[in-house]
Structure 1
Amino acid sequence: MTDFALARHNMVEGQIRTNKVTDPALLDALAALPREQFVPAERRSAAYVDEDLRLAGERYMMEPMVLARLLQAAEPTRTDVALDVGCGTGYATAVLARVTATAIGLEADPALARAAGETLARLSIDNAIVVEGRLADGYPKHGPYDIVFVNGAVEEFPQALIEQLAEGGRLVGIRRTGAGPGAAMLLLKRRGAVAGRTLFEAATPYLAGFAPKPRFVF
């Protein structure tokens, strides 16, 4: 039987701290949350491996190290409102709920949204909700957001997500333009303008529906 507490400790110490993640609140959240509860039962023994974990179909749970580095780059605070785009089973939403005031998980797949909501409720995480909707549209009802976390790779960040950033808001995610590794990006909104910078490389799988369209060359 897997010792999940030990696996969680090893994840934080061996995957997260060693990759320059130093934010105390974020480290505490990762050490406290039972990641295995957000993984389908048949894959639970692999919950803490250092790779992206398939949830269902074309949907994945992001590798812990990549997730942690992106969230640290967003510089979450206890007063922030955060949007987790493509929340899957809700793990990143739960992490965000630990380090912000409110976290909203946006999910297009009804089964994943239901699973995420049930797990958050079971863990008594009461400052997070899960809503269903088209990922590219964001969720303006609870915006603008201090943090928008794109939970998977995209060819381009949808304009609607950028427009839902508050002044001083940060969008983090992976931008990929082909089969190779993508670029982890931080977009920052200041005085109504948005500027971005590259953080690191990551081979994160595409969010379903966000992969590049096939291009025909004649």
Structure 2
Amino acid sequence: MNTMDYAKARELMVEQQVRPWDVLDPRVLDALATVPRDAFVPAAHRNLAYADLALPLAHGEFMMKPVLEGRALQALALDPGDDVLEIGTGSGFLTACLGHLAREVVSLERHADLADAARSVLAAHAINNAQVVTADAFAYTTERRFSAICVTAAVDVIPQRFLDWLQPDGRLFVVRGRSPAMEAVLVRNEVNAPRIQSLFETDLPYLVGAAPVPTFEF
């Protein structure tokens, strides 16, 4: 594929996949139309960069489908002044989109090679407000509180530590539950208790450390 093909494919992805899935926020559509997804996809799968597919990365990780990325970005309703925590950098594509929409992004990636690759591509595309930290989300500690958190893999139960990283009135996007009947939810950090809004059904691989504990049957 040449560069023009990628530009056309990006336009078609937005118009034929993402928008029909009720992603109508103009800022989100602009981010998806602007950030070159093909630059973040491993070379072996680059021709599939704009397909309606989850794409494999190293270590059994993956890139979410474009429609799911669009829905996540729209659900978070980011303002240009927001600080975002991303749990699971992966390729760095969603990191770039978050950077396009928010003031600053801190993204956690447990695999050093994926983190390094994401940093390189983000730098090459002048996305200077996104910091990739090599860390496991279950070992990471910070005193910062974020406006929004985006979790790029599923959890069985939403970990309390993720909620603790939210500012009052902050938002968390995450997919929770048991495969194959998982639900994407938006959690709002309200005064008395978190308010959980169910968004749509989907199915994602689990975040390492967040899978269901195996139950033994005798």
TM-score range, shorter chain: over 0.9
Aligned to 1:201: 201
Task: Give how far 1:93 is off.
Answer: 0.8
Q: Distance in 1 between matches of 2:50 and 2:137?
A: 26
SS at the partner of 1:10? Answer: helix
What's 2:124 paired with? Answer: 122
Match of 1:144 in 2: 145
Counterpart for residue 137 of structure 2: 135
Please say if residues 106 and 139 of structure 1, whose CA atoms lie closer than 8 Å, have aligned partners that are also in contact.
Answer: no
Whole-Å Cα distance in 2 between the matches of residues 213 and 70 of structure 1? 26
Contact 1:86–1:106 (CA under 8 A) maintained in structure 2: yes
Please give the root-mean-square deviation of Cα atoms over the aligned residues, in Å.
1.4
Q: Percent of aligned pairs with the same residue?
A: 39
Q: 1:108, 1:133 within 8 Å by CA — same for their partners in 2?
A: yes
Within 5 Å, which residues of 2 pair with 1:1-218? Answer: 1=1, 3-137=5-139, 140-141=142-143, 143-177=144-178, 179-191=179-191, 193-218=193-218
* Partners of 2:110 and 2:71 in 1: CA distance: 25
8 and 64 in structure 1: CA distance in 2 versus 1, 3 angstrom threshold: same
- Cα pair 1:82 1:146 within 8 Å, conserved: yes
Structure 2: tracts of 5 or more residues without a match: none
Q: Is the 8 A contact 1:148 1:171 kept in 2?
A: yes
Q: CA deviation at 1:127?
A: 0.9
The answer on whether the counterparts of 2:86 and 2:152 sit within 8 Å (CA) in structure 1 is yes
Moved over 3 A (4+): none
Q: Which runs of 5+ in 1 are unaligned?
A: none
The Cα shift of 1:85 comes to 0.3
The amino acid across from 1:41 in the alignment is: A
Q: Distance in 1 between matches of 2:47 and 2:141?
A: 33
Does the CA contact (< 8 Å) of 2:138 and 2:209 recur in 1?
no
Q: 1:174 to 1:128 in 2, by over 3 A?
A: same
1:14-33 CA distance string (max 9 Å, x none): 11111111111111010001
- Using the alignment, how far apart are the partners of 1:155 and 1:56 within structure 2? 23
Residue 105 of structure 1: how far off its partner (Å): 1.1
Alignment length (residue pairs):
216
Query: Which amino acid counterpart does residue 70 of structure 2 have in structure 1?
Result: A
Residue pair 2:175, 2:204 contacting (<8 A) in 1 also: yes
**Partner amino acid, structure 1, of 2:128:** D
Find the residue that maps to 1:57 and give its secondary structure: helix
Q: C-alpha offsets along residues 60-93 of structure 1, whole Å, 9 cap, x if unaligned?
A: 1111111111221111111100011011121111
Q: What amino acid is aligned across from residue 159 of structure 2 in structure 1? A: P
> What TM-score, normalized to structure 1?
0.94
Q: Aligned partners of 1:24, 1:138: CA distance in 2, in Å?
A: 34
> TM-score normalised to the size of structure 2?
0.94
Match of 2:168, SS state, is: strand
For residues 27-65 of structure 1, the C-alpha deviation after alignment (integer angstroms, 9 at most, x for no partner) is 101000111111111111111111211112320111111
Displacement of 1:155 in angstroms is: 1.1
AA partner of residue 11 (structure 1): M
SS of 2:138's equivalent in the other structure is: helix
**One-letter identity of the residue aligned with 2:200:** F
What is the DSSP-based 3-state SS (H/G/I as helix, E as strand, rest coil) of the residue aligned with 2:45? Answer: helix
